[in-house]
Amino acid sequence: MAKIIKYVSQPAGRDQMMKDLGLFSVVGAGIVSTILLVAALLR
């Protein structure tokens, strides 16, 4: 939690957090689509 506050208080940190969130959402979407694909194939 303190790390997030430190991020937001610095403009550069905010950009880094946005990049991290973007990367996380891309990875998460990839994992979800892979799971859905596997589930569809196993039916």
Output the pLDDT for position 6.
Answer: 66
Q: Are 1 and 10 in contact (CB under 8 A)?
A: no
Q: What is the pLDDT along the chain (43 residues), one digit of tens a residue?
A: 566 666 566 777 778 878 888 888 888 899 999 999 999 999 8
> Global pTM?
0.49
Sign of CA dihedral 20, 21, 26, 31: positive
**C-alpha separations of 34 from 6, 9, 31, 39, 41 in Å:** 34, 36, 5, 9, 11
E strand or H helix that includes residue 14 = helix 11-42
Output the pLDDT for position 8.
Answer: 60
